[in-house]
Structures are given as structure tokens and as C-alpha cells.
Structure 1
Amino acid sequence: MPALDTKAILEGRRPGRHSVGLTVGIVISVLCMLLMLGYLLLGGVTGSGTAGVLGFVISFVAAIVPVSILIPLILLLDRLEPEPGSMLLFAFLWGAGVAVLVSIVLNTLGMEVYAIPTFGADWGSYVSAAVGAPLVEESSKGIALLILLFRHRHEIDSYTDGVIYAAMVATGFAFIENISYFLQSLADQGFAGLAFTFVLRGVISPFGHPIYTAMIGIGVAHAAINRGGSRFLAPVAGWFAAVLLHALWNGSTIFGYYGLGVAYVALFFVLVAIIIIAVQDRRRQVAAIAYYLPPYVATGLVAPADIQMLSSIGGRRRAREWARRNAGSRGRRAMQDYQLAATELALLHQRLDRGVARPQWWHRRDSFLALMHVAREAFAGRAAQPLHPSWAPQSTDSGFLNRADFAHVIERAQQQRQTE
């Protein structure tokens, strides 16, 4: 019997294959990012190579600092149902590659061709930053979210998912943009200028871009998880909100520190609202687990204590630690697979009840059940009688299905995935 392709089941793709579209998107994004890095290294921002290779390296390292803080914080929002690493990578690279490249070309054209000839050098630069840049940059970042909506809608289960993908795109964008700002400051004002810009962009306002683009993510998520006419308007409304927040921050510079303070407070309240949305989404996910998994108790794949374990981060962590003690690293991985498959199963039922799941998604249920069975068989093991927690089978004759009893579901899951 062929082994189950765990990642394929959890990501909703064919076993042994990767998404061609996602792979192409990653490759194109990497090429665009390398092009941008080469442009910055050769002095494309400063107008000459005055910053030098050392300046580029310093700016590059400085730009990594906020990224290394932001990404873990972003991923903390959705620990019950983590998003696939390949899609998160695509989102980040799109922001760091395609979105930045498109933005620098269009922003430069807009400023040189329209803003400066129309408003003069000083006001033209301000109009370009306060109006043109938000329009261009949020559009270029938002395209990635539309791609995910149309190509990987099944992975967007909540508003938090939309926020996570949007924040990853924006973090990638801010990474390259920060390098350019740091290089410019270093070239113009030396290390003092670099230090000031780093504090402003890396310490005081690192959440700027993620907050703006999160509005588009929320709109895209609404379109993915709801029915009705509002789902067509939600991404557009999210884009408008992103542009307005971005314009508020960029435009506030003309009012000095007072303007920046007002904009900062406004963005802080938006951030609080996003956190509240994430908390509410987690509660809805826990409610889905409690509502949709009990009918599967009769199969032996779910016990009442499992539902309690799956409903908290602490419970999941303790279960993985028990599985590690009972069956080693393989058992820990199996427990993690079980937790993810069970969560995906509950969220699939939730989407089916909402009427937003496509008919062909129904076969994913059997794939999740097959993975849960194989994972449970792996982490339960045969020993460690004193290590049994309340959610583990107490003996081999505890009523849990044997692999032979479940073979037809495993076989059918593989056949359905291979013939799609």
C-alpha cells in the first residue's frame, strides 16, 4: 500500500506533485528580487556607488532585523491551523520581488512624468509619496492575494488567514524597501542617518506595511469564506482601506512629528482591531472543532479528550511532547499531522455548511481521515503504558480501527488524488 503524502493531503494537492503555478510564481518573484538587490548594490537608489558594497551589506543586515521579528509575530496569529510553508514563501517573495519592482518602476514614472511637471519638484514629490505610492504599492501587493484567492481558495479559512498572507507580502516588500532607505540614509548622512532611519522604520513603525495590506487580506478572506454579493466588493473595499491607511502615514509627514503621532495612533487602533479579529477567528475555529468532530467519535479516530486537546495550543503542545516520549520524533511528527488533519476536517465541514466549498473538495474528508488514522497508529505505539494521556488509546483492543479496517479509505484517498 503506498504511503500517504502527508503534505499533499494537508495542502489539498496531488500526491508527489507541487503546484506548477505556485512554483512559477516563486521563481519569477526570486528573479525580480535578485534584480532589485542588484540594482541597489550598484547604486540605483543613491545615484552612484558611494554607499559601496560594505554599505549594501550593512543595510541588508539592518533590514533583516525587523523581518526576523515580524515573521514570528505574524505566524503566532494562526497556530491552530498553520498555513503551508510554500504559500507563505510565495507571499513573502512576491512582496520582495514582483511588488517592489513594479512599484519602483511605476512610482518613478508617475513622479517624473506627472507629479513633478504638474506640481513642481517639492509638491510633486509629496503628492507622489502621499497619493501615488499608496495606490501603486497596495495594488502591486494586493495582486498576490488575488492570485491566492483564485488559485488556493481552500487554504483561506478565516480572516486571520487573509491577514497572515497579506502581512507576509508586506513584510517582503518592506524588507527590500528598507534596504533602499538605509542605503540612501547612509550615503547622504553617514551612520548617524542610517541609525535614525533604522529606528524610525525598524523600531517605531515596522508594522506599517503589514497593517496597510492586512486590509486587503481581510477583504480577500471575506470573499473566500462567505457567499453573496458582498464577497465581490470586499477585496475592493479592503484595497481602498489599505490605500487610505498608507496615504495617511505618508501624507502625515508634512505635519511633522504631530502628524506622525496622529497617524501612529490611528494605525495602533487598527492593529488592535486586527488582533481582536484573530482572537475571534480562533474562537470560531475551536467552536468548529467542538461541533464537527464529535460525530467521528464512532470511527475511533477521535475521542472526546482529543477534542479538548485540539482546542488549545497548550493541549496540542503537551500531546506532541507525549507522542515524542512514546514514539520518538516520528511520533511527534505524527501527532502534529493528526492535529492539523483533524483541524482541517472541522474547517472543511464548516465551509461545506456555509456553502462556500467547491463540490470537489468533499473528497478531502477521506484524505484527512486516512491521515488521522495512519498518524494515530504511528504516535500511539505499542509501549509506554505509564505514559498514556487521556486522549491516547489505552490498549490495542480499545475499539480503535485497525489499519486493515481503514485500508479502503486510504486507498480511495490516494486514487482520488492521483486521478484529479
Structure 2
Amino acid sequence: MLLFSVIASAVAPGIALLTFFYLKDKYDAEPIHMVLRIFLLGLLIVIPVMIIQRGLTLGLGDSPFVQSFFISAGVEELLKWIVLYYIIYNHVEFDEPYDGIVYAVTVSLGFATVENVMYAWYSHASIGTMFIRALLPVSGHALFGVIMGYYFGRARFSKGVRTKRFLVYSLLIPLLFHGTYDLILTTVTDYWLLLMIPLMTILWYGGMGKVTRANSRSPFRFLKREEEVNT
């Protein structure tokens, strides 16, 4: 019974955060079947992530910087980016900037949920530990997804060199935040919360700002206002 509670506590944060960001779509909510599809892909990329990370660790060593920015953040964010670019970027359902956030958060939380369940299963973590993981790594993945998805949305609805620049941002910026997050956890043993709390505050504040800006660029916002006026 306790194990079931711990596993449930590993799954619940991802579902709750996905629901939160999904409901932030003000104008044109994404089809549930598409969200589930991308969530499933997020679950599945855990396998290649583990294989690639193992190979890179054997080849590159285990220095904290390399582990944080290249092996951990680099591999995870790159595979999420690949899923979004090749599955969603040119999809007909990607029809407003906020959709980038929805799908990037979805693939990120699919990955984070499996990661969380594996941690709970193999470490026999307590409910308290899983609560801390909900506040840090799971929400961290969601916020890295917000950043990635925001710039995917900017790229999708831009032209020329701006498109390429935003696509680079969509990979590079979440990777840098993710790497910084991991580096703090692997190198700071005492008072690490003094660094982690400001980082998570920046991620949440910046992430919610990106949610607002992405919604404000929706082509459907004028239709919504017309419907409100007519009713």
C-alpha cells in the first residue's frame, strides 16, 4: 500500500502540471489525443536517453560540468527538441504560438514522470522525498518545456532568419537552465537551496510571463473577443 502511494505521488505532479499548462491555453485548446500522443513519446524517449547518456559517460567521463550540461541536460533537451521538431513543428494542430508550450511541456512531463517513477521504485523513496521532487525536478522539466515551447512558437510563426534564431533559442536556453540546475545539485552540498530557490523563482516568473506572451500572440484572440461581444 505504501509503495502504491509513493508511485502515485510520482505520477501525480506530472499530471497536475500538464493539466495546469493545458488549461492556460485561452483560445484554442489542443486535441486530447495529440497531447496523449506527445506525452507517450515523452515516456518512450527515456530509453534512448539512458542508452546515450551511458555511452557518453563512458566516453567523456564524469566531471560535474560535462555531466550537467552535456550528458544530462544536453541529451535530454535535445531528444525532446527532436520529438517536437519532427512530430509537431509542421503539424496542422500547431496553429498558434501557445501550442508550442503545450506540446513542449507535454513531452517534458512525459519524460519527467517516467524518471520520477523509476526514482520512486528503485530508491524506495518516502512521500516527503517525492513531494520535494514534485517541487524541483518535475516542475523543473515543465518549466524547461515552457521555455522550449515558447521559442518553438516564436519560430513557427516567424519568417526568415528569425525562424532559425528562435529554433536555436528553443534548444539552447532550456539546455542552459537545465544544466545550471543539474550543476547546482551535483556540486553544492551545503546551502544548495540558497541557489536553487532563486533559480526556480526565475524559471516560474519567466515561464508564466512566456505563457502570457504566447497567448497574446494567438491569431484566435480576436475571434474570441468577437464571440464575447456577440454574446
Task: Provide the TM-score with structure 1 as the length reference.
Answer: 0.49
Deviation at 1:272, TM superposition (A): 2.7
Query: Which of 137, 142, 161 is equivalent to 2:81?
Result: 142
User: In structure 1, how many angstroms separate the alpha carbons of the residues matched to 2:160 and 2:65?
Assistant: 40
RMSD across aligned positions (CA): 2.5
| 1:82 paired to 2:13 | no
Decide whether aligned partners of structure 1 residues 78 and 270 sit closer, same or farther in structure 2, where only a CA change above 3 A counts.
same
| 1:113 paired to 2:32 | no
Amino acid at match of 1:139: L
8 Å CA contact 1:252–1:263 kept in 2: the answer is: no
Query: Which of 120, 123, 130 is equivalent to 1:198?
Result: 130
- Deviation string 1:22-50 (CA, Å, 9 cap, x unpaired) is xxxxxxxxxxxxxxxxxxxxxxxxxxxxx
Equivalence for 1:273: 209
8 Å CA contact 1:215–1:241 kept in 2: the answer is: yes
Equivalence for 1:177: 115
Identity across the alignment (%): 21
8 Å CA contact 2:147–2:210 kept in 1: the answer is: no
Query: Which of 210, 221, 227 is equivalent to 1:286?
Result: 221
Give the match's secondary structure for 1:92: helix
Equivalence for 1:262: 198
Larger radius of gyration: 1
Deviation at 1:205, TM superposition (A): 5.2
User: In structure 2, how many angstroms separate the alpha carbons of the residues matched to 1:150 and 1:270?
Assistant: 23
- Deviation string 1:302-326 (CA, Å, 9 cap, x unpaired) is xxxxx333x7xxxxxxxxxxxxxxx
8 Å CA contact 2:52–2:75 kept in 1: the answer is: yes
Amino acid at match of 1:107: Q
Give the match's secondary structure for 1:207: helix
Decide whether aligned partners of structure 1 residues 182 and 226 sit closer, same or farther in structure 2, where only a CA change above 3 A counts.
same
Deviation at 1:276, TM superposition (A): 2.3
Amino acid at match of 1:245: F
User: In structure 1, how many angstroms separate the alpha carbons of the residues matched to 2:28 and 2:154?
Assistant: 18
8 Å CA contact 1:183–1:194 kept in 2: the answer is: no
Equivalence for 1:160: 98
Equivalence for 1:91: 38
Deviation at 1:126, TM superposition (A): 6.2
8 Å CA contact 2:13–2:138 kept in 1: the answer is: yes
Deviation at 1:146, TM superposition (A): 0.4
Amino acid at match of 2:151: G
8 Å CA contact 2:100–2:150 kept in 1: the answer is: yes
User: In structure 2, how many angstroms separate the alpha carbons of the residues matched to 1:202 and 1:267?
Assistant: 15
Decide whether aligned partners of structure 1 residues 181 and 127 sit closer, same or farther in structure 2, where only a CA change above 3 A counts.
farther
Give the match's secondary structure for 1:156: coil
Decide whether aligned partners of structure 1 residues 101 and 176 sit closer, same or farther in structure 2, where only a CA change above 3 A counts.
same
Deviation at 1:84, TM superposition (A): 1.8
User: In structure 2, how many angstroms separate the alpha carbons of the residues matched to 1:237 and 1:271?
Assistant: 14
* Structure with larger RCO (C-alpha < 8 A, sep 6+): 2
User: In structure 2, how many angstroms separate the alpha carbons of the residues matched to 1:233 and 1:149?
Assistant: 18
- Deviation string 1:184-213 (CA, Å, 9 cap, x unpaired) is 431xxxxxx433431211145532112112
Tell me, which stretches of 5 or more residues in structure 1 are unaligned?
Answer: 1-52, 117-123, 187-192, 291-306, 312-389, 392-420
Equivalence for 2:67: 128
User: In structure 1, how many angstroms separate the alpha carbons of the residues matched to 2:147 and 2:135?
Assistant: 22
User: In structure 2, how many angstroms separate the alpha carbons of the residues matched to 1:272 and 1:223?
Assistant: 19
Tell me, which stretches of 5 or more residues in structure 2 are unaligned?
Answer: none
Task: Provide the TM-score with structure 2 as the length reference.
Answer: 0.86
User: In structure 2, how many angstroms separate the alpha carbons of the residues matched to 1:231 and 1:279?
Assistant: 19
User: In structure 1, how many angstroms separate the alpha carbons of the residues matched to 2:102 and 2:110?
Assistant: 12
Decide whether aligned partners of structure 1 residues 58 and 285 sit closer, same or farther in structure 2, where only a CA change above 3 A counts.
same
Deviation at 1:171, TM superposition (A): 0.9
After the TM superposition, list the runs of 4 or more consecutive aligned residues in structure 1 that deviate by more than 6 angstroms: none
8 Å CA contact 1:138–1:239 kept in 2: the answer is: yes
Amino acid at match of 2:194: Y
Deviation at 1:226, TM superposition (A): 2.0
User: In structure 1, how many angstroms separate the alpha carbons of the residues matched to 2:133 and 2:9?
Assistant: 11
